[in-house]
Structure 1
Amino acid sequence: MVYLAELGLTGFRAFAEARIALRRGVTVLLGENSAGKSGVTDALRMLTEPLDGRRSLWADDDDVCRVADYSSFTLRMTLRGTASELAPYSDAFIPSSTADETQAHYALVYEPPGLAETRGRMSWAAGSGAVADDPDPGARGRLRHVYLPPLRDAARELGPAGSSRIRAIVERLLADEAFVDETGTRHDRARFQREVGEHLRLIERNPVLVRASEKVNEPLTALTSGAHEHATDLGYGRADLASLVRGLRMRMADAGVEPRDLAESGMGYANLAFIATVLTHLHAAAQADLTLLLVEEPEAHLHPQLQAVLLDYLSRTAQDSQRQTDNGWLGRIQVVVTTHAPLLAAHTDVDDIVVLQRRPVAVPQPATAGDSPDPAVSVRFTAAAVAVTELGLDAADRARVNRYLDATRSSMLFGPRTILVEGIAEALLLPAMARTLLTGRDWTRFVGSTIVAIDGVDFGPYLRMLLTRTPSGRIGNRVAVLTDTDPGKRHDPIGALERLIDGLVATDAAAVFASPSTLEPELLEAGNAAFWPAWYVQRPTAGLKLKARVETAADADERARILIAAMKKSRLRKGDFAQDFLDHTTAGGHTLQVPTYVRNALAWLIAPLS
């Protein structure tokens, strides 16, 4: 199928230079605020025509990247498909890396206005750039988009001010073949306008409306009879399609209940009604080769379950559009979603995710008289995009991360700082420990970090996901691994982790922090008075004997061995123990003592990013 495979941006908004790989069906763009998600959407809106022909976005000087010396910007799009599918775009062909796939390339360049000009100049190039001066705009017109903005006002969009989509749906029903109802009656445009017009004329003849018109005519006759006498009546105007649709209102209620005004419904369901209208409007995609459905923040006003249902529906919409229409258009739909919602990211195959990030750039400042010989610099930020599909992860790693995200709804792909831990016990204790140690900006940095409890010790898939470098960079900026040495193992798990990290990154982007034994013995060694009361909650009888054995042990290593053996024998529930430990720390008035290796991990995690 023909699809938009790649978007390139040079000097546009937050992007100095970026290349974004897009998927055939659904691409989910995620990342922190100001990472460029809306910029990508707007670039696609500039490169393609709106499906309804009403362009609402134009380039200007504010779109030029302010980092470094950009005075213009360039947007590039690469289409891929079979030779027959891309035949209308022959002027834009470029060599393809695969024998069974053809590529077409377009570039849009914006240059600011000259001295005597008020508007900037837009120019197109096709293929390798040899064909310029707006090559074959008719071919590019076969590429369309439908845009759903964030913070949608559903009541307005489905009222008179936004009636264009309702009109498009009705016009689609009344197209060449017309609409045939359940009785077999054929409804074309002329019949529709005639029948609805007849109903409106009946309303206009209602005695109340006729009398109201007569009341107005009494003074009007007196005012106009001295020149040219006039008279009025009350009516609905022309019975043409545009006028008829303009008066319609979308109504909604629970199934089986009399529909009410849309404003009386919850914002979430009202927005779903608006999205449903847009998706119905997409039937007009049969008049285009490819229609991009651009959805910003579909999670707006929706509770989590509806978010997942919506994304699943969008995926099926793209999949079901793999068709050839009777009129020669391909009618394909490709979906691009921007989101801040971990649930949507979790409900997406990781290969369909592109992570957008802010990257600091040192920009030299112009020298002034009296400055020191060392030029001053300021730090600005550019945006970068890392497509998970380009990480080269094997099938097993992708499957594990997919299953983990689907089960946990983790935000591990969003933030700049991530700490990987073995299980729920560490995940429960870390915030409390951080609150004990950190204040001010350090605490804020921890709050902005993501704790990933993998419920095991196989950190490899997550480290490869976060640290594998692509030409656009890597997903993880700072990744800490908090784990246990687990003395007595034949292999060296800590050394294996460190070798894996060394093979992935050559910087201080990741580090391993290991306890000398395991978490629970280290809590005891740190001097936590709540340790034994928490232990007694699960093992009240055996706990007293164990405490006596531990207190007579020769050193920390022996105490750890005794505790680890007891935990295995008694099947201590580590998550429950962590909860009991925190309960007794708070209720007993005990100060939480943080083990050294955890202190070191937190200090490294919240250090300023490079």
Structure 2
Amino acid sequence: MYLAKLKVSGLRRISSVELQFRPGLNILVGENNAGKTAVIDSLRALLSTTEDGAVRLDESDLHLSQGGVRATEVLLQYVFEDLTLEQEADFAAALQPMGGDKYAAHFGVRYTLSAGGRLRPKRWCGLHEDNAVSAEMLEDLRAVYLPPLRDPASGLRPSRSSQLARLLTRLATTEEKTSITELMRQFEKDLEKESPVANTQKAIDTQHETMLGAALRQSLSIGLTSPEFHRIAARLQIEVDSFDVDQNGLGYNNLIYMAVVLSELETNPDAAYRALIIEEPEAHLHPQLQGVLLQFLQSKERKKLAEKEDQEGREGKVPADQSVQIFVSSHSPNFASIADVDTLCCIHRGPAGVKSFAPRTVKFVPPAKKDKLQRYLDVTRAELFFARKVILVEGAAELFIVDALAKKAGYDLKRASVSLLSTEGLNFDCFLPLFGEDALNIRVALLSDADPPTGTFPGAKDAIVLSATAKTLEAAKSDWVEPFFALKTLEYDLALHEENRDAMLSALTEMHPIIGATLRIEVEAAPEADRAKVLFKGMFERDKGESIQKGRYAQSLAAAIATSKNSIAIPPYIEKALDFIVKP
């Protein structure tokens, strides 16, 4: 059983959005203020009614439209799928047919404004609001919420409600509880016989009887705890490398706490549905530990799937559902880059408001493009899931040079919320499906080379001749994606402008003094119409010796552009792309 759909209406920045989840791990990613916390609170509104307290909303949580009209209510709708027969019996009142012999459990929560300014919830199941959710159903929907900036040590300290005490109670059989209780009772008896304890007991008893007299005195005893299992469990605590948990680091304590919580959830026989909701785990974990945590969560999902398939194969029936659905919200590109693409659920702000998009719903043609996307998503490229606008370039060389040109021309890409990303070659095809009307509603400028036939060196005013590959990219143009092409390549288009050649040759001379000096003489001796060709061929199509390394040269050229006191001409296709991407 897992939560397959959640529809949120009227909550904070969200007018209306429907999210689709999967069994196991779900990672909510998106920029700040996109609505991730609103989604987390929507989950808690149904799943955490008895754990960590119910979500409390007030009038300020009602959605305010761009026109200044405030919503009158918050409506949350939930659909659970893949129920076992036993779970269908538990949630019979919530069931609705899906087709065939399958049923889904539907729940709803509506928050309406009360006289005191608070929003009061009404929970129901099925399709009719008069069908109230029973207390038994709520107990069957078990979730633990881990808030951001939390203090995990408080959940690990000894107490009756600690996660450690719950886990111990879950794992111990009746006979084992009795055995532990007898061990503690015997230990208490032995402890009482020790001289320091016995003498302390006698001293207290003497003073106590002197104070109150024989008629009023009480029976006192020194011990660790009453020999009852629940009291023993409440006194146990975790030590870390022989230190108290309070002396351990906050990040590691979070990982310990998650391990205890997951263990308790997985061994809970009472709940039909179990969920772990973690908000911003990166708040306490450095990138390496973020990777360790994510690998652990993904391995839990794979292990549960393997166990289910194994049991189905051996017994020929569907096993009891003991899986835990995990929801993690994050605005860390590091977390998004190492996650399986299928686990991501993107929440972003488009022109029409907050929208949701799951990359796993994209049909990559051929399917191998999806695998390529997974390989190419590193920390930098995963930034696209958090961006408002994106410029995609072919490689590192273009990345360095376009960034330098934009700064030189006065474009502040960071303040314009633009992410400049490299696809490492002509790998636009695996990134472009992520953008569009039914995907990420963000503006994308695609910069690429026209790559005309070999030996072609067009003039500045010549028409663009697109290669077959460039034509494919041109066909990707949409309301969200706009391709822009160099006449030949970025370096050649730069060389077409006389004012750029000095900086280009200076950058070359810094790397290769002899080649740079020789090429400068050749360029100056050539007719004006041929100088771009001579400069380009002298670097990247050399008749003798190896051609210049584009990546290294790009770094040198970017530095030359940044420090040049002369004006630098931006190739028209780049200038158009920058204007397109930074406009409101």
- Could you state the TM-score of these two structures normalised by the residue count of structure 1? 0.81
Residues 59 and 110 in structure 1, CA contact (< 8 A), matched pair in contact too: no
Matching residue's letter, 1:73:
V
Q: Among residues 344, 359, 362, which one is paired with 1:388 in the alignment?
A: 359
CA shift for structure 1 position 450? 1.7
2:483 alignment counterpart: 512
What does the per-residue CA deviation read over 1:431-462, in whole Å, with 9 as the maximum and x for residues that have no partner?
Answer: 433333337xx45425x422211121342332
- Aligned twin of 1:180: none
Give TM-score scaled by structure 2 length: 0.84
Q: Aligned partners of 1:130 and 1:589: how far apart in 2?
A: 70
| 8 Å Cα contact 1:27/1:352 also seen in 2 | yes
SS at match of 1:529: helix
Displacement of 1:46 after TM fit?
1.9
Residues 135-214 of structure 1 aligned to structure 2 (within 5 Å): 138-139=136-137, 141-160=139-158, 164-176=162-174, 188-214=176-202
Say which of 293, 316, 321 aligns to 2:299.
Answer: 316
Q: Residues of 2 paired with 1:284 and 1:402: CA distance?
A: 33
Segments of structure 1 that go 5 or more residues without pairing to the other structure are: 177-186, 254-258, 362-381
**Structure 1: how far apart are the matches of 2:28 and 2:561?**
42
1:427 maps to which of 380, 391, 399:
399
Per-residue deviation, 1:577? 0.6
Q: How far 1:602 moved relative to its partner?
A: 3.0
Give the equivalent residue in structure 2 for 1:125. Answer: 125
How far did 1:94 drift?
A: 2.8
Cα offset for 1:199? Answer: 2.2
Alpha-carbon distance between aligned partners in 2 of 1:86 and 1:224, rounded to the nearest angstrom: 60
CA distance in 2, matches of 1:327, 1:169: 26
Partner AA of 1:593 in structure 2? I
Match of 1:452 in 2: 421
Quote the residue 1:481 is aligned against: 446
SS in 1 for 2:236: coil
Call closer, same or farther: CA 1:274–1:594 in 2, change over 3 Å: farther
Among 260, 280, 291, which residue is 1:297 paired with?
Answer: 280
In structure 2, give the amino acid aligned to 1:432. Answer: A
Structure 1 position 404 matched with structure 2 position 395: no
Residue identity opposite 1:405 in structure 2 = L
* Cα deviation, residue 48, structure 1: 2.4
Q: Does the 8 A contact of 2:109 with 2:124 survive in 1?
A: yes
Query: Per-residue deviation at 1:222?
Result: 4.3
1:341 aligned onto 2:338? no
2: distance between equivalents of 1:219 and 1:594? 94
Q: Which residue of 2 aligns with 1:358?
A: 349
1:178-227 deviations in Å (ceiling 9; x for gaps): xxxxxxxxx52122122123324444554334444555556544433498
Instruction: State the Cα distance separating 1:477 from its structure 2 match.
Output: 1.5
Give the CA deviation at 1:591.
5.2
Amino acid across the alignment from 1:165? Q
Deviation larger for 37-46 or 542-551: 542-551
Q: Which has the higher helix share?
A: 2
Q: How many residues align?
A: 553
Q: Which residue of 1 aligns with 2:4?
A: 5
Which string of whole-angstrom CA distances, capped at 9 and with x for unpartnered residues, describes residues 372-397 of structure 1? xxxxxxxxxx5321222333333133
Once the two structures are superposed, residues 551-588 of structure 1 have per-residue CA deviations (whole angstroms, 9 ceiling, x without a partner) of: 233345652365147403433211111222344556x7
Question: 1:123 is aligned with what amino acid?
Answer: R
- Is 1:248 the counterpart of 2:247 in the alignment? no
Decide which of 390, 393, 403 is 1:418's aligned counterpart: 390
Query: CA-to-partner distance for each residue in 1:417-436, whole Å, 9 max, x for gaps?
Result: 11101110122234433333
1:104 alignment partner in structure 2: 105
Contact 1:523 1:593 in 2 (8 A): no
What does 1:482-501 align with in structure 2 at a 5 Å threshold? 482-488=447-453, 491=467, 494-501=470-477
Q: Which amino acid aligns with 1:330?
A: D
What one-letter code is carried by the residue in structure 2 that aligns with 1:133? Answer: N
CA distance in 2, matches of 1:568, 1:101: 65
| Change over 3 Å in CA distance of 1:461–1:592 after alignment to 2 | farther
Q: What SS class does the counterpart of residue 502 from structure 2 fall into? A: coil
SS at match of 2:500: coil
Structure 2, unaligned runs of 5 or more: 455-465
Return closer, same or farther for 1:58/1:29 CA change in 2, 3 Å cut-off: closer
Q: Is the 8 A contact 2:522 2:534 kept in 1?
A: no
Change (3 A) 1:66 1:162: farther
Query: Residue 535 of structure 1 aligns with which residue?
Result: 508
Distance 2:147 2:304 in 1: 22
Report the aligned-residue RMSD. 3.4
For residue 91 of structure 1, what is the amino acid of its counterpart? Answer: A
2-side partners of 1:84 and 1:521: how far apart?
67
Check whether the contact 1:49–1:141 (CA below 8 A) recurs between aligned residues.
no
Whether contact under 8 Å (2:158, 2:236) holds in the other structure is: yes
Candidates 544, 552, 574, aligned match of 1:576: 552
CA distance in 2, matches of 1:307, 1:137: 37
Match of 1:94 in 2: 96
Give me the identity figure in percent.
Answer: 26
Contact residue 48 and residue 145 of structure 2 kept, 8 A: no
8 Å CA contact 1:294–1:335 kept in 2: the answer is yes
CA offset at residue 416 of structure 1?
A: 0.5
